[in-house]
A and B are shown apart, each in its own frame.
Chain A
Amino acid sequence: MKNKYLFPLILFLLAVVLPYIVPEFWVHVLTEILIMGLFAASFNMIFGYMGQLTFGHAAYYGVGAYTTGLLMVKANVPLLVCLPLSMFSAGLCAAVLGYFCVKLRGIYFAILTMAFGQLVYYIIFQWYSFTGGDNGLQGIVPPAFLGRAANPYYFFTLIVVALGMIALWIISESPFGYTMRAIRDNAERTEFIGINVQRYMHLNFIIAAMFAGLAGALWGPFNRSVAPDLCSWQHSGMPVFMTVMGGPFHFLGPLIGSAIYTMLMAFVTSFTEYWPMVSGIVIIVVVLVMPGGLLGLLGDRLPFLRKNERSAKETNG
């Protein structure tokens, strides 16, 4: 029981030590892994825990990114103030759009989330005077106290992402989190034990969007700019791939998936331009060989990874 915290602890220590060992390029990669990892973990609150596939989660990531970008560029608001405001704006957006999405299930849910995602993308793309349209927003710089080197912003990201992941972990283990598992397993029965399933799904949708917004908020200062592509459906596909790779039935699956995906991309793009093909092949292999993701596969061998989540194939019978 005690060693269920061992794996996350090792990961954290690794995250603290690595930037001192690897070249600066890889520190940037690590930063990206963390940001995308938090994004993917927030996606998995809807996918792994609630059992619905969203194909528009990047909209909330993008809204978070633009909230921080606009506030910093146009109003000089400090980054630390921008972060909660980004969560708020992403959550607000999800409160409105999610209201309609949670009326649907399965493929219809996926399609509506995707359609709303494209709507957000389109608004940002078209609203030239406010968002900069397809040029995006430039000149988003991390606060002065973090300097210009790679490491300080990396550690800032590490702290924010770690706190975000801890918050998501607490939520996922709470009665609310178990209610999400119950809805995933049998939404109908959940109504008959007195739970307003739609309302709970809506709340979870908002929570997931808030943490996507937080991840998005970290992106602008890291990349020095934001662009409408952050909201596109292609970008919504990233957490899907990452989560499937890492394992949707483990809390850390999405983060591990982000590490594999991001590192592979950084590695492959450094010597070939055929990254989309490589990533396609990797995803096919993952889906065919390890349907529970990497942690699902390892979990069958390493008991400390199992906790109380189980890989999907065990219970299909």
Chain B
Amino acid sequence: MDDTGNIVLQIDRLKKSFGKYKVLTDVSYSLPKGEIAAIIGPNGAGKSTFFNLITGYHLVDGGTIRFMGREITNWPRHRIARTGISRAFQVSNIYPRLTTFENVRQAILSQQRRTLNIFTPAHRLARKNTLELLELTGLLPYRDTLAGILSQGDKKKLELALALAGKPELLLLDEPTAGMSSEETHETMELVKRLNREIGLSILFTEHDISVIFGYARKLSVLYQGMVIAEGTPEEVRKNEEAQKCYLGEEV
């Protein structure tokens, strides 16, 4: 049986070095549709680099990336975003001098392909959608605040909102709860889980917080020394000796 129809993301033999330093030596990975999965690994293992390659931030040195069966390796960033992969950054990467509302509206206008409109005042467009998304991510009280002066946790929520505004098929979250209080972490991950369940959004995230990893991921992959050294359900990975030695052992 051909199951490529059920695979959102298929990565084969991905390689990336920075100068002589090999970050990813040989990474193969596949993510089924509607899955919620995590990539874990120690600091500097290459998790963010992995996301950077998928979203076109860096060019790959070797290997292929397929999204919904289509090869997207080394496509330009905006094209990858348009094709249905949205991303929230580890270090919040927002528009500091626009308000929270304007931040989200910008991403929505882009998704609606209205950014070439030079005639209609922007404040008349996408208002309802923007407010809905602000509400969903808990940012409504800060709609008129400049994004640059939001708290760390709220910046991360805005990151998530910008990613969701793209109406993606696949959502990549790089440490989505870093800098959040435990309450905010819970809220955010519940939202992510709900989106996964309700609209079948495929989600791949990285995290250091063990409770988040084991609480929300249905599939775990351990990235270590440039390769995926263990993979499976949280229980399987917890029992895996190699994974324990390399990573979990330090923290569990």
Interface residues of A (CB under 8 A from B): 170-171, 173-179, 181-182, 184-186, 188-197, 200, 203, 207, 308, 310, 314-315, 317
Asked whether, in the complex, the Cβ of B78 is within 8 Å of the Cβ of A196, the reply is yes
List chain A residues, Cβ under 8 A from B121.
170, 173-174
Partner of B98, one of A170, A182, A195, A200: A182
Contacts A176-B117, A192-B81, A193-B81 known; 15 new A-B pairs at CB < 8 A: A174-B118, A174-B119, A179-B106, A185-B98, A189-B89, A192-B77, A192-B87, A193-B165, A193-B166, A196-B76, A203-B116, A308-B102, A310-B97, A310-B146, A317-B149
* 8 Å CB interface, B141-177 against A: 146, 148-149, 162, 165-166
User: B96 touching A186 by the CB < 8 A rule?
Assistant: yes
Q: Which residue, B76, B121, B146, has most C-beta atoms of chain A within 10 A?
A: B121
- Which B residues lie at the A interface, using CB under 8 A? 55, 57, 76-79, 81-82, 86-87, 89, 93-99, 102, 105-107, 109-111, 114-123, 125, 146, 148-149, 162, 165-166
B117 near A191 (CB under 8 angstroms)? no
By the criterion CB–CB under 8 Å, are B125 and A175 in contact?
Answer: yes
Q: Is the CB of B117 within 8 A of A186?
A: no
| Complex: A179 Cα to B126 Cα, angstroms | 14
Minimum CB distance partner of B82 in chain A: A194
The 9 closest A-B CB pairs, nearest first, are: A194-B81, A191-B77, A185-B95, A194-B82, A193-B107, A176-B118, A179-B115, A315-B97, A174-B118
Query: Smallest distance from the beta carbon of A93 to chain B beta carbons, Å?
Result: 20
- Complex CA gap A186/B106 in Å reads 12
Instruction: Tell me the minimal C-beta distance from A68 to chain B in angstroms.
Output: 25
CA distance A195 to B94 in the complex (A): 15
- Tell me whether A194 and B111 are in contact in the complex, defined as CB-CB below 8 angstroms, given that A173-B121, A315-B146 are known contacts: yes
Which chain B residue lies CB-closest to A316? B148
A273, B244: Cα distance in complex, Å: 81
Taking a contact as CB atoms under 8 Å apart, the answer to whether A175 and B122 are in contact is: yes
| Chain A residue at minimum C-beta to C-beta distance from B111 | A194
Shortest beta-carbon distance, B153 to chain A, in Å?
18
Residues of A close to B87: CB separation below 8 A: 192
Nearest B residue (CB) for A188: B93
Distance to closest chain B CB from A198 (angstroms): 9
Given the contacts A174-B120, A315-B146, A195 and B115 also touching, CB distance less than 8 Å: yes
Determine the chain A residues whose CB is within 8 A of the CB of B107 once the complex forms. 193
CA gap between A179 and B108 in the complex, in Å: 11
Q: Which residues of A contact B166 (CB under 8 A)?
A: 193-194
A-B contact pairs, 21 of them (CB 8 A): A170-B118, A171-B118, A173-B123, A174-B118, A175-B118, A176-B118, A179-B106, A181-B98, A186-B94, A188-B93, A189-B89, A191-B77, A192-B57, A193-B106, A193-B107, A193-B110, A195-B78, A308-B99, A308-B102, A315-B148, A315-B149
Q: Which one, A174, A185, A191, A310, contacts B122 given CB within 8 A?
A: A174
Contacts of A194 in B (CB 8 A): 78, 81-82, 110-111, 166
Do the beta carbons of B148 and A178 come within 8 Å of each other? no
Q: Which residues of A contact B116 (CB under 8 A)?
A: 175-176, 203
Residues of A contacting B81 in the complex (Cβ-Cβ under 8 angstroms): 191-194
Residues of A within 8 A of B89 (CB): 189
Are A189 and B93 in contact, with the CB atoms below 8 A? Answer: yes
Bound-state Cα–Cα, A310 to B145, Å: 12
Of A170, A175, A182, A193, which is within 8 A of B114 by CB? A175
